[in-house]
Amino acid sequence: MRPVTLARVLRICALLSAVLFAVVLLALRLGAVPFSLGDLGQNLWWLASGHPERLSTDFRLIMVDIRLPRILLGIFVGAALSVAGASFQALLRNPLADPYVLGVSNGAALGVLVALLVAPALPLMTPLAAFLGATATISIVYMLGRRQGQLDSSTLLLAGIISASFLSAIIMFLMTTLASRDLRGIAFWLMGDLSTALPRGLLWILVVGFLSATGAIYTTASDLNLLLAGEREAMHLGVDVTRVKLVVYISASVLTGLAVAVSGAIGYVGLLVPHLMRMLFGSDYRLLIPTSALGGAIAVVLADTLARTVVAPIELPVGAMTAMAGAPFFIYLLRRRLA
């Protein structure tokens, strides 16, 4: 295995950033109303050079007001879910762990359902209620996952699975009380949706939250490499296991809560992207965390582009696209490991 150096990390991240840039251009060009490469390049140049008055009306409406915010949201959601998935896989020492394994998505969905029943007309109520529901679930699972005053990985996993099952039962019960219009909306949200327009202030909150949580996880990257060998071995090597587990749990949960609050539950991204990055670049978390963030962004933007264009002008849920692509890939990974 090649050693992880700063130069190698920057080189690989630059490569993935170039791929992400190409995917963003593709996503901007494709849709119910496609644009030629010439028109796209010219209008983007005017926008970047500080001459927005030269933009055509169609370009401003479709690209600047609709597609670009959606793409930026997809980048954030994909990066957050992938980093959270890689972190939970190390924390729980379980290759099948994903951002939703501890019931965060179910808590967010329950928050949305309660908001629809109590105050459906309030602006931004859906993302706020989703984040509060996810936060409450994170807190409950944390308290249930403690054993003898410390966070125990096995107990935490069991607490998350039980909490997710219990919340799912409550969600099924409450969904029977919704009107047909709200029922369709919550079902679409549960499968992942990036079409919700968010104010610029909220986008900045997401960016700050992502950078803070990911930065906190990255400070534990070397410790996570040792933690994979076992908690006792990591302690003998000088790792403060309690601190690392607490930092990773809180930061990964915050990333998951923020992503689910604005997009719903987009499956398979947090499970498969970290595995793909391990196959391509190795399992060192000093490299895995940034590559997972970029890989997740690429995956979600591609999935959202397909969701917008496959049966245009009808839009499919983003989660449906990631599931259709992710399930066969997961079977391939499973067969490859068993071979």
**What whole-number distance in Å separates Cα of residue 128 and Cα of residue 136?**
12
As given in the structure block, the two tokens for residue 121 are 């007309």
User: Which contacts qualify for 62-69: CB closer than 8 Å, 24 or more apart?
Assistant: 62/31, 62/33, 62/35, 63/28, 63/35, 67/27, 67/28, 67/31, 68/28, 69/197, 69/198, 69/203
Angle (nearest 5°) at CA 158 between 155 and 164: 135
* β-bridge partners, 146: 151
pLDDT in tens, 37-92: 777 777 777 777 776 667 677 777 777 778 888 899 999 999 999 999 999 998 88
pLDDT in tens, 89-125: 988 888 778 888 888 888 888 887 888 777 766 667 7
Residue type, 337: R
Mean pLDDT of the chain: 83
Rounded to an integer, what distance in angstroms lies between the CA atom of residue 211 and that of residue 206? 9
5: how many CB neighbours lie within 10 A of its CB?
Answer: 11
**pLDDT at residue number 301:** 94
Contacts of 185 (CB under 8 A, 6+ apart): 116
Cα separation values, 299 from 149, 153, 333, Å: 39, 29, 17
E-strand ranges in the chain read 146-147, 150-151
Q: Using 50, 70 and 90 to split pLDDT, how confident is the model at 143? A: confident
Q: Which pTM was predicted? A: 0.89
Instruction: Give pLDDT tens digits for 2-33.
Output: 677 888 999 999 999 999 999 998 888 877 77
CB 85 within 8 A of CB 99: yes
Asked if residue 153 lies in contact with residue 224, where contact means CB atoms within 8 angstroms, the answer is: no
Q: What is the pLDDT of residues 40-49, one digit of tens each?
A: 777 777 777 7
Q: At what angle do helices 180-190 and 104-118 cross, to 10 degrees?
A: 160
- Domain 6-338: give its CATH architecture: Orthogonal Bundle (1.10)
Given a cut of 70, whether residue 180 has pLDDT beyond it is: no
